[in-house]
Amino acid sequence: MCRLINWVLKYLHPSRLLCCLVSHAQTVDQFKDQPRLPKFAVPKRYDIRLRPDLVACSFSGSVAIDLDIVAPTSYIVLNAAELSVSDDAASFTNRDSSKVFKPSRVELFKQDQILVLEFPDSLPIGLGVLTIQFEGTLNDRMKGFYRSKYEHNGEQKNMAVTQFEPADARKCFPCWDEPACKATFKITLDVPSELTALSNMPVIEEKINGNIKTVSYQESPIMSTYLVAVVVGLFDFVEDHTSDGVKVRVYCQVGKSNQGKFALFVAVKTLELFKHYFETPYSLPKLDMIAIPDFGAGAMENYGLVTYRETNLLYDDQHSAAAYKQRVAIVVTHELAHQWFGNLVTMEWWTHLWLNEGFATWVSYLATDSLFPEWKIWSQFLDETIEGLKLDGLAESHPIEVEINHAHEIDEIFDAISYRKGASVIRMLQSYLGAECFQRSLASYIKRYACSNAKTEDLWAALEEGSGEPVNKLMDSWTKQKGYPVVTVRVNNEKLEFEQSQFLSSGAQGEGHWIVPITLCLGSYDVCKNFLLQEKTETRDVNELFGSQIPQEIGPRSWIKLNVDQTGFYRVKYDEGLAAGLRYAVEKQLLSATDRFGILDDLYALCMARKERLTSLLALMGAYREELDYIVLSNLITISHEVERIAADSVPELLDNIKQFFINLFQFSAEKLGWDPKPGESHLDAMLRGEVLTALAVCGHDLTLDEASRRFQAFLEDRSTQLLPPDIRKATYVAVMQRARKSNRFAYESLLKVYRETDLSQEKTRILSSLASSHDPDLILEALNFMLSSEVRSQDAVFGLAVSLEGREVTWTWFKENWEHLLKTYGAGYLITRFVSATVSPFASFEKAKEVEEFFATRSQPAIARTLRQSLERVHINASWVHSVRNEQHLAQAVQELAFGKY
């Protein structure tokens, strides 16, 4: 070292030395803080070998990457994170000359998650092979290459699992971890010989050497790094084949294989359905689906090896509720849709994430409806639309196409905009273009971009070409700007006046402007018209629209309904006369279930935005007193919980009467459904029973609480009792916790006992989501602390955030005390945002918003920044609504009348 310093001092003037050092630093720093990798090297093929150690929870590996050097460079820059790469562990070999280039510097930039290899000479243009050896840790954060725990024969064991979406393949092997950098993958695993090792492709060779076996897999088709998958553990499976010979398996923990049969049935049927719908066969020789005990998301569409949270793949005929059966079908069809929409045709960059998730969400309903038409699943699609509308009604929403400038920003856009708004605008477009034209154009798009990448504009071009409609112009307003319109409609003489403006839940004025596909009916679904609302305001003559079909007058005994069957992603505000006509139509059951749903949800949203009075909302809710449709009643229940929450903060003296009104509202359906399943009843009735009973329990209905207690006691004495079928267990658990206190712990302790005894994931999540529904803050705190214990899997702790009104403050205090632990456990990603949103959003005071802002002033992380802003906006919206309700005239009288049956 001394000789080097002397040489430098002798031959370099200090100014030249400084200049040299600055120049060198700049050459390295040019790659930092960049949203994308440089383009001078293009990966073509990866040969990956991994050796996981499931005892030490570490792994070692090597990768040989076929590269095309396409521009002069003395650097290779790729992604790597949480890996150890030594200075002598990398080299580049030119394909033509076989010359080996060793880097003079190997630097891992932790913040940017890039590995920079600097070479003393410029690399030759053309093909070569980059080889890198590396080591890493099987982490416990459910991202990258991680470990999941399971029990076999009473012994705790580890399995190795990958979860790479959106940008965590780099935590397993150095790579070009961007969706546009597609390549083929040849994977080899060295694993304990007694274990099953799965990857994207079928096994071509296994060699056993003592207690280690080397498993080699077929080379994959071209795909993105985030779709590479590896799972190593001990599993059972069930198997079937599609009609054209694709082998389909469902893997799960040993002893649970029977629970995989329903998902297997759905998968086989779905692959065949999508083959015809997309006019392209599934492109791999096998499809494996596997249930992972520790899994952060709901599922992941890895090509040929789809990973799932257990609750989203396994279904037990004896102990799973009907809602879980539906959930499994929706999730399986969603993930298999990705095998075409995402895996075969991939978004070019995360800005276009919605192309993956919006389409997979929409098409999952298409497939589920085909397989189970009796479920009326398209009416339940409204749940997706409503969640999209809720998030997109915030000023802190984002466009469907959102700019992504760093990897840490990606996780937050896996949200209701990309999934639910994306799916909803697709449904709106399909409704406008027609189902047949839409399918034909979609199939053409898949064929055109197969094994490649696409942008939103590419899809619009295919649909425009197939339909002849100006799709790009129509849809740009829905994908490139955030928000959506509320369309106000008024009757003026014999004219209908339409006005669009951006809807914001805060009640503020927005700037947006959309091309809105308007559908409307007048008095009958046989009298239906549609047009595009392109201006801010437009007027249509009723006679011109409907001709001789119109009634003599538009009033309380006739009705006009916009957004027929809720296929459009917008809200509607009616003038007083039209609103009266629609209430009459609701009472007389003249409208479809989806339209009854839409009228209620629009008025609720307008009420929250202080554009309508709470008395108007409560009066409309009274019109649903004999409602029996699942989707309508389910939304009525959701809205009742929100109204109760706002009333508790604004008019607590009226809360008992408001609860009594809701009890009256739900008793009709509760009596029709009863507690016990009826022979031959529908899937929807089975789901509805639990929701109605839960609503009555939360409102404090004594008869419901007493019956729940009786049945729970019978269940504790005999787990196989017929008195507590799966569909009402959640309702019963919530009910018994209503009377639980720190001094009356029987229900709480009993639920913990059931939790500890069951190995069914769905039963565990039922219990976790019920424990904090007590009214006792001390018991709620105990439940929250249990969520962070070793008895609860990390991904399940968020279920415990379903706290009662009395639990908001104690949850916030608990959250603050455990923030560092939560951050360490969940890091950046989907789950940490759930903690923030669930804890902060329920508050309804400006003072609390300020307190939250002050707490996060020194603690905020880039990965939660958007979620925190959205949560704080919700608090401000709630606070403004509370203030408005406090000042509402005649509310007490209206509530009194409603509580005692005067609708």
Give the 3-state secondary structure of 705-746. Answer: HHHHHHHHHHHHHCCCCCCCCHHHHHHHHHHHHHCCECCECH
Count CB neighbours of 832 within 10 A: 22
Q: Which residues pair with 116 in a beta bridge?
A: 77, 107
Question: Hey, what are 477's tokens?
Answer: 């307003």
Pairing type for strands 212-217 and 203-209 reads antiparallel
Q: Where are the alpha helices (DSSP H) in 547-682?
A: 576-587, 593-608, 614-622, 630-650, 655-673
Pairing type for strands 485-492 and 495-502 reads antiparallel
User: Which residue among the candidates 165, 178, 335, 412 is catalytic per the annotation?
Assistant: 335
Q: Extract the annotated binding site for Zn(2+).
A: 334, 338, 357
Q: Where are the alpha helices (DSSP H) in 372-501?
A: 377-392, 422-433, 435-449, 456-467, 471-479
CA dist., res. 624 & res. 269, Å (int): 38
CA dist., res. 789 & res. 307, Å (int): 25
> Which residues, 6 or more positions from 340, have their beta carbon under 8 angstroms from its beta carbon?
274, 278, 280, 282, 446
- Closest residue by Cα to residue 729 from 456, 238, 324: 324
Rg of the chain over all Cα atoms, to the nearest angstrom: 29
Q: Is residue 200 within 8 Å of residue 217, measured between CB atoms? A: yes
Alpha-carbon torsion (249, 250, 256, 262), positive or negative:
negative
First to last CA, the chain: 91
Long-range contacts of 644-649 (CB under 8 A, 24+ apart): 644/698, 644/699, 644/805, 645/805, 645/842, 645/844, 646/614, 646/844, 646/878, 646/881, 646/882, 646/885, 647/885, 648/805, 649/844, 649/845, 649/878, 649/882
Q: Is residue 300 within 8 Å of residue 335, measured between CB atoms? A: yes
Strand segments, DSSP code E, in 314-357 are 345-347
Q: Is residue 46 within 8 Å of residue 185, measured between CB atoms? A: yes
Q: Is 335 a catalytic residue?
A: yes
Rounded to the nearest 10 degrees, the angle between the axes of helix 683-698 and helix 655-673 is: 150
Residues labelled catalytic = 335
